Amino acid sequence: MDYTPQPSGVSGAGLRPPRLLEQVRGRIRLRHYSIRTEQAYVGWIRRFILANGRRHPKELGGREVEIFLTRLATVGNVSAATQNQALSALLFLYREVLEIELPWMEEVVRAKRPRRLPVVLAQEEVARLLSVMPEGLPELMARLLYGTGMRLMECLRLRIKDVDFARREICVRSGKGDKDRRVPLPESLHGRLLRQRERALLLHHRDLARGFGRVHLPHALSRKYPDADGEPAWQYLFPSSRISTDPRSGRSGRHHAGEETLQRAIKAARARAGITKPATCHSLRHSFATHLLEAGHDIRTVQELLGHKDVATTQIYTHVLGRGAGGLLSPLDRLPGVVPGPA
SS3 110: coil
**Among 95, 161, 173, 176, which one carries the catalytic annotation?**
176
Q: Are 68 and 55 in contact (CB under 8 A)?
A: no
Cβ atoms < 10 Å from Cβ of 324: 13
DSSP state of 112: P
**Among 151, 159, 204, 291, which one carries the catalytic annotation?**
151
> What distance in Å separates the CA atoms of residue 98 and residue 158, rounded to the nearest whole number?
36
151: annotated active-site residue: yes
308: annotated active-site residue: yes
- Rg of the Cα trace of the chain? 24
Alpha helices for the chain (secondary structure H): 20-30, 35-51, 62-74, 80-92, 103-107, 123-131, 137-148, 152-156, 190-209, 221-224, 259-272, 281-294, 299-306, 311-314
282: annotated active-site residue: yes
Contacting residues for 317 by C-beta, under 8 A, at least 6 apart:
118, 120, 286, 289, 290, 293, 302
Phi first, then psi, for residue 252 (nearest 5°) are -85, 140
Whole-Å CA distances, 175 to 13, 95, 258: 40, 25, 18
**Any bridge partners for residue 245, and if so which?**
252
192: annotated active-site residue: no
> What distance in Å separates the CA atoms of residue 18 and residue 2, rounded to the nearest whole number?
8
Phi first, then psi, for residue 174 (nearest 5°) are 50, 55
Active site residues: 151, 176, 282, 285, 308, 317
